[in-house]
């Protein structure tokens, strides 16, 4: 019997509620391919091998051992466990949420004509990567995000299908940053790249520097990207150019906090400066913004900083 025949015998997709949203997304993936199947969320997972019941779960090696679904040695780190029987019963258990949708897609894209004997007793697959992301995501968070008919969910779904694990989420809700400059200057356009923390939150030091409607729109865009990431099991995080330059009016008020000049002389018509990162007030400013951002979006799990590009830099660079 082939996997595609056994899968059509699935009648119930069972998963644990209050775990990753990717479980429900993956269940919907199965149901879309199996007309007679339905999903059931349960409060706890057990060893259910009843005919037609297919279980999906995120579990550690220890939790998988307790489920007693295999006698094989369980990998301690990253794993995918897939088991399917003739009656449609089986398991798809992964160590991380970001393996779920990817492997479910792999089943329907590549394994349907495989004999179930390869998986009837269960088989461990070791993922090639446990950190795979689009570094500097042109479409989701850079200028590609404003192209006509761009569908964020379809894009994130495709990344998950292809096996990506992490996702940059800090894009602007506006077509470009509200950095201003002299007529004909193109340098402000570069502020759409890798938005800095102060494009989403503010501290007591820079309060009012950017309008609330602008910060709110950017935060809304970021949060929606986070929601989509979690829905498909991806890990959301940030890639920022920091420290980024700030409007000159900030230094009218705090001249002692002027840091390095960072603008590109080929593209910039006026000097631009960041705050000096050596001053305690500026360090407190960044700490406060990070605290506010994590309070607003606790799901963020990584933060990468590029320190010298598109309006960013610091003294002596």
- Judge contact between 125 and 131, C-beta under 8 A: no
Q: Is 214 inside a domain boundary?
A: yes
Q: Which helix (H) or strand (E) holds 7?
A: helix 3-7
**What CATH number does the domain containing 209 carry?**
3.20.20.80
What pLDDT shows up at residue 90? 95
b/e sequence 11-48, b meaning 16+ C-beta within 10 Å = bbbbbbeebbebbbbbbebbeeebeebebeeeeebeee
Q: Is 314 inside a domain boundary?
A: no
What pLDDT shows up at residue 165? 98
Q: Is 115 inside a domain boundary?
A: yes
* Angstrom distance (rounded) from CA 147 to CA 69: 47
**What CATH number does the domain containing 46 carry?**
3.30.379
Q: Is 315 inside a domain boundary?
A: no
- pLDDT of the chain along its 317 residues, tens only? 999 999 999 999 999 887 799 999 999 999 999 989 999 999 887 778 899 999 999 998 888 888 888 878 888 789 999 999 999 999 999 999 999 999 999 999 999 999 999 999 899 999 998 899 998 999 999 999 999 999 999 999 999 999 999 999 999 999 999 988 999 999 999 999 999 999 999 999 999 999 999 999 999 999 999 999 999 999 999 999 999 999 999 999 999 999 999 998 888 999 999 999 999 999 999 999 999 999 999 999 999 999 988 899 988 76
- Both tokens of residue 234? 């991806």
Q: For residue 111, give Cα distances in angstroms to 90, 105, 115, 183, 307.
A: 15, 9, 9, 58, 44
Q: Is 138 inside a domain boundary?
A: no
Same-domain check for residues 151 and 247: yes
Length of the chain: 317
Same-domain check for residues 151 and 257: yes
The count of domains in the chain is 2
Task: Map tokens 């400059």 to a residue.
Answer: 181
The parent domain of residue 102 ranges over 3-125
Q: For residue 208, give Cα distances in angstroms to 181, 241, 246.
A: 19, 21, 12
Q: Is 132 inside a domain boundary?
A: no
Domain boundary among 91, 125, 159: 125
Domain boundary among 90, 125, 160: 125
Same-domain check for residues 112 and 202: no
- Judge contact between 169 and 288, C-beta under 8 A: no
Same-domain check for residues 177 and 277: yes
Domain boundary among 125, 151, 180: 125
The DSSP secondary-structure symbol of 140 reads: T
* Angstrom distance (rounded) from CA 102 to CA 316: 45
Q: Pseudo-torsion of CA 170, 198, 310, 176, nearest 10°?
A: 60
């Amino acid at each position: 019997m082939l996997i595609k025949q056994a899968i059509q015998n699935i009648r119930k997709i069972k998963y644990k509620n209050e775990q990753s949203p990717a479980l429900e997304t993956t269940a919907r993936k199965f149901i879309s391919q199996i007309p007679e199947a339905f999903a059931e969320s349960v409060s706890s997972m057990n060893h259910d091998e009843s005919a037609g019941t297919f279980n999906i779960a995120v579990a550690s090696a220890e939790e998988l051992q307790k489920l007693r679904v295999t006698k094989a040695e369980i990998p301690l780190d990253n794993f995918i466990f897939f088991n399917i029987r003739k009656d449609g019963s089986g398991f798809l258990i992964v160590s991380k949420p970001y393996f779920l949708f990817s492997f479910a897609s792999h089943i329907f894209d590549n394994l349907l004509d495989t004999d179930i004997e390869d998986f009837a007793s269960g088989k461990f697959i070791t993922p090639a990567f446990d950190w795979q992301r689009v570094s500097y995501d042109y479409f989701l968070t850079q200028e590609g995000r404003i192209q006509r008919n761009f569908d964020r969910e379809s894009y994130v779904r495709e990344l998950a299908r292809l096996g990506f694990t992490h996702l940059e989420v800090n894009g602007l809700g506006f077509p470009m940053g509200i950095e201003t400059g002299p007529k004909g200057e193109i340098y402000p356009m570069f502020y759409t790249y890798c938005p800095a923390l102060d494009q989403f939150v503010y501290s007591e030091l820079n309060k009012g520097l950017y309008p609330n409607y602008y910060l709110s729109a950017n935060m809304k865009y970021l949060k929606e990207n986070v929601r989509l990431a979690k829905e498909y099991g991806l890990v959301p995080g940030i890639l920022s150019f920091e420290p980024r330059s700030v409007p000159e009016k900030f230094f009218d008020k705090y001249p002692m906090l002027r840091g390095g000049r960072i603008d590109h002389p080929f593209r910039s018509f006026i000097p631009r400066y960041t705050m000096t990162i050596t001053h305690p007030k500026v360090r407190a400013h960044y700490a406060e913004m990070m605290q506010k951002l994590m309070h607003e979006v606790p799901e963020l799990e990584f933060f990468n900083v590029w320190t010298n590009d598109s309006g960013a830099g610091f003294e002596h660079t």
